[in-house]
Structure 1
């Protein structure tokens, strides 16, 4: 026992010292601005006509990005009226970016480009997610390889084998982008070894032909030996194309199916989740996993004694401190363990008949304990690179969090190299299972949907303000809300959750993880997350619940508009009921529907400071007498570009939730 205690103290001291040193190396999250080229033209006095045309082009590009598929170009002015009168403009978002993220990036570029490159007639500006370009000459369809820009990481590559494999991999991506598909972009990863993986992306401006795209990409690749091949992590870009290579997933988890050839769809379905979830391991992660492995060894030895308990959830153990990057608080919850043999018996040896589904963590099975209790068994998949981190998060957070609107963790198992979590079983599966099915959604009448909206709000309020930890969920969505026998909502899946220290309000992360369509703009673009990030996700979820449609698929069904954009549009037009799920027509109370829609729009406002806290949301939901402030423009919405001034007034900007009167508020 003394030897074990000595090892524990040694490991704890080592980790503490490591974290202290690591804190000195942490820097602020990088902004999404990469660079620009405005040196190819000299500053000059621009004519008023050119300035007007330039402003028109930039406004149009920013507006169009909200409803396009990530690319477009336009021109304003007539070149015959003056040498510098016409302006040709183009934006092109990265292939993994569309909708919200694309519009945000283009809007930012349009707003900042005149400050970065004043009094220039020709400019190219690069951002992580998009490129914006304008000129007084027509460049549409032309291949531009100079000037070229490159950026490299700090790690060195000494292996000629990796250099050769990397070059071959990037050539395969060029082939897939220009020959096997007509998308002019492609992203993928490959296994460098059994323990290392590399990722790449190639893309061309979509005004090029496939032949022009191939020419540009090969020219960029030819520049790599001179600038970048001995560095791990590099990007080479021109005005017409870019290539990027690194050891972590730098593209979004949303990968458009249209970029995958039909012949590869069946093959990629099975492996894409694991591929997308594998992340580059940092030194901190390695140390944490080393410590965790030592504890796993001890747990196995103790758990073997539990095999004699005959299927009961037996002894209680102490799981020692797991350090999150964002907190130094030591977490020591009491976790029950369950023998592996009991889990195998309850799930029929993890049979397919017992399988409920599969996520990034791994498969989930239904089990029945010897005493008749039903359980849900989440088993870490060996192919899940993120799973170990998620496992620790789940154990650390859920074990300390107890609330009727949070799923309950019953036990865990760490025997025979297995990492297994056992939860209470939810008979009615997840919210998305009912909400987005045309037949099943009919059982979700208005009273039940309102109850679900309230329950989720109370669960989030507990996480943000009332629990022992201040927890940011970071992945709230319909599939992560489970429904019990009485259809009460329970928030689940804390694999991406983070906790805050006392007095801490926000944090940054380099690797943005979550679900496309639910992520707040400041989190998706800058890695900045706070309780207001969860509030944004909650707002999207509320709008989904009252309209019965997925946010991710709404763009395709409503004239190219996103859910938040459409909700904002009908709100400003005073026609809120257009958003209502048709199956609610008989059961819905109009004033309650409008209030929920109002709250949803308040939660998805672009400025995080404008969004209410969850405590305010709960009060607003419970009160029929509280006057709510007018919502501002939703994140990434094109509304401010197209709606009339009366519909987009910013006069509500200075209103606070505390402006209370005794009346219900309706739009217009």
Structure 2
């Protein structure tokens, strides 16, 4: 059988710098000067990172409330830093010209691959095949046809796939830079084949392999009569060609003898005859060993089942079982036995009880190695609380910030549902600010630091964490204090997770604490970042004044703390609002600015409230001009909000 194979004779397929080999432009928007400015700033960030980090894989983002832009670039592992940086600059220079007002842009150049999007470009295995840049080299005029015998098209195509598979393994599991090159020596008369595979550095080895395998599979059937091909996704890319397109020696060499022609027939089986005596003995021996192994395995299974049944260690529902296994696979959490926690708390004695939460009591415990822990035990009769328990475990395991309480592990055994946190010696904020004696321990500088720490924790939840999280129950009792009075946001049982594109949600089941609820949430079930901002504003006023919003009765014309603060602010008597225990030592300008910011946070309409980013910026600046607040929510009512 005679087959025609295309061979390249010394040509360079790639276009000059500035002309992308492939491009994708999606999602048109009206002209926006802010977006264009952010695009230029992102170009500077990625180009600088390419020059300074030495990884050839810079990433970054530029974000305002209106125009978040994320970018990631990959340069082949043998590209020098200056060439990588120059290519990225060229890509961004061409972006506006080639894509216009497109928000989702992807470019493939000879020295770099650049992806720009308004969505966070965190690895997602479900979207590996989205936005693939595919460059197929089939057009060079200097092609020569050569007759090849003894091999089929399928065998050559199949071995290209083997080469890419071996190179992908090398990149995923044997390279700290997630980059590998390869060469396949086929046979006399056939061209050498060269390959390259690369993944983003923040991928785990298994994710890198999965990404490369997916895009390799997407190219299946596309190798016939091509000189080379380059397929680039957001998180990984591979390339092969009949000429050496990389520098130095390949990291993986494969010979024709090392691979298998997929179309080669297996040797024909020998003639079927009467089994020999030796074969009979062998068959009997195998049968006896197999039977013995099956009996032993059956006995072991029964023994394990019986032990578990006797100890009553089993999950009571499908959801419970999924939760336990989910925790067991997580490297960030420890799964505790109920007996460990019982011993740590002296059988959950009243002496070790720290308080009573919304879903059950909280105890202090001590592990054998001396570590003190806080143990939140879900009340056994609280069937409604299991969803919140599961929510809190799955959520906090993904969150790490100095102003968030740290979850150490959990226990789900039978009917027991328990969370284990780091122990914070100073309990919660309400323990201090609402106590006439203890509030004196919180002088103004500590209160200001607590306000700023809570704001930083909220900013992380709303913007910088892997998930966008709405807490929904921010209040003084959910702010824990460590030994140095640093605040840590706790109790995520009511929290909601948003995608990066969502801004608000709606629920028919309104849960939280009255006095801290934004009006749109209390009345319509609408919650958003701005509803957390409202709760934070209430919290600021409580920290400054030293009294609870929900129990405030001073001045008969105003039923809550918000109205009283507003009245004094409008009459320029805001100093009367400050807690007497700190009024003499507080910085007047700082205190006035904090009251101003708090009143902005508790505006009746959500659109009038600042974003979390703006709140942090206002708190950290002494010179930023602050808007004049309008009247707060629940202002002028004759009774308590419900």
Q: Give TM-score, length-normalised by structure 2.
A: 0.49
Higher relative contact order (CA 8 A, sep 6+): 1
Structure number with bigger Rg: 2
